[in-house]
Structure 1
Amino acid sequence: MSRDGGDWMCQACQHINFKKREACQRCGCPKFATPPEVEAYAAAQRTEVMAGDWYCSGMNCGAHNYASRSTCYRCGTAKAYYGYGAPDAAGYTYDAVPGWKTGDWICNRLGCAMHNYASRSECYKCKTPRE
């Protein structure tokens, strides 16, 4: 698929590549890949979505981010917490998130933000006590 100026969008991962590239910068799919090649490269890009993972709401991004990230790895947009309960003294409640259980919590230590099970009294990663 060609874009203005000759730049092209990878059929496997939708990354915009410069005209001069013969393969996608992100996933390596050839510029003129056959449909079976495109499917193979696209399948390699898929990762299992775990509880707490989120998709970037930034303009035209949509990147899959791990639960531990507070900003998008691709574009830097902050994680959107809307729709997942109201903030309270212990942070945000996430019992509305698929795969999460009532009482699960996010570590509030700056730079950590790991998903923890309700039964934990401290963060499994950084050992910060639950508030």
Structure 2
Amino acid sequence: MSCWVGGDWMCGACQHQNFKKRESCQRCGYPKYGGPDVSTYLYNNSYNSAEVLAGDWYCSAMNCGVVNYASRTNCYRCGSLKNDFVGNYNTMGCDGTVPPGWKTGDWICTRYGCGVHNYASRIECFKCKTPRNFGGA
């Protein structure tokens, strides 16, 4: 799924793009309209539970979010370059627009267990205070 259609939504826990009809995330099961604390939910449901070591990085490309070893320059799942998505939400819809509720330059916190949407003007995550460029080169 790469094009945004009216009513499609992004999971608040794993940033997976879901069809309008889904009541919970296809990838991680998080409820469409929110639910328990995201960090607690992801931990309790073993989502992205692989051991994360210093230097490892999360792919922030839309619909990805996997952990990659520090030595990788490309995401093993989607092939995105490490620095293409760190700190910014660069994947646009088919018509060049950003996802619903987003503005150009908005970004996803890449800290494990956080993953929240932040406005472009923020230099650190509003939830966990992690710097915008956390995990970057």
TM-score under structure 2 normalisation? Answer: 0.40
TM-score under structure 1 normalisation? Answer: 0.41
Larger Cα Rg: Structure 1 or Structure 2? 1
